[in-house]
Amino acid sequence: MPRSLSCFALVILVTIQFDGTASLAQRPPSERELRVYAGLHDAAARGDVVEIERLIREGEKPNIQDANSRTPLHVAAFLRQHAAARALLRLGANANALDSQRYDILTIAAVNDDREMLDLALEGGANARAVTSLYNDTALIAAAHRGHVDIVRALIAAKAALNHVNDLGRTALLEAVVLGNGGTKHTATVEALVKAGADVTLPDRHGTTALQHARTRGHSQIARILEQAGAH
């Protein structure tokens, strides 16, 4: 896929929060930024491994940042350039670097439902328990919110923090219920989190539990999973 189309497909995400506010989320490189990129950022965006290797060999720093604090590795993650990400990690890129929105490549991969990038990040030293984003989220919360169950399972296996509470007062389990649609993906996500030992009794900042949210929304299958786990 051409670079411009890849970027268009990864437009700025706007997440509508449960309390009715809109917040700016991840910021992939814009079309303008892609046009002006040079050096490692350009090579990462194009997936040019040979150029990445040449530039680093000649002295370019693998963790150089653009105006939004994105490293070349961030760019590779946003644009799903797996070979470029692998090369950058091998040559010293920091898997835990944060951009200006406080996102690391693990959370970017979680939002993109990009299992290959997630695995690369973890193998390259990414911290599955890292707190990211302007709302002090985690990659697990981001994946649970979207019902990316394969990502959720991989992060659980990597010892992600099951009960981390973000600034909106929600855990990954609460996000899966509150921001999910009760469908197959979010039901499987809830099941995976409960099976892993997520606390089903923790309420949100308004005192409402995951089970209460599930019942209010008519998510009967999710409610049954929570009830069987001892929720109330």
pLDDT per position as a tens digit, 7-58: 434 433 333 333 333 334 799 999 999 999 999 999 999 999 999 999 999 9
Integer distance in angstroms from the first to the last C-alpha of the chain? Answer: 48
**Domains identified in the chain and CATH numbers:** 1-127 (1.25.40.20), 131-232 (1.25.40.20)
Residue appearing with tokens 């497909």? 9
Distance CA 225, CA 194 (A): 8
Residue 25: predicted pLDDT: 78
Token readout for 134 is: 């302007």
What is the mean predicted confidence (pLDDT) over 131-141?
Answer: 96
Task: Compute the distance between CA of residue 77 and CA of residue 110 in angstroms, rounded to an integer.
Answer: 10
pLDDT average, residue stretch 64-73: 98
> How many whole angstroms separate alpha carbon 151 and alpha carbon 158?
10
What's the DSSP call for residue 13? P
Q: Looking at the predicted structure, is the pLDDT value of residue 142 above 60?
A: yes
**Neighbouring residues of 90: CB distance < 8 A, sequence distance ≥ 6:** none
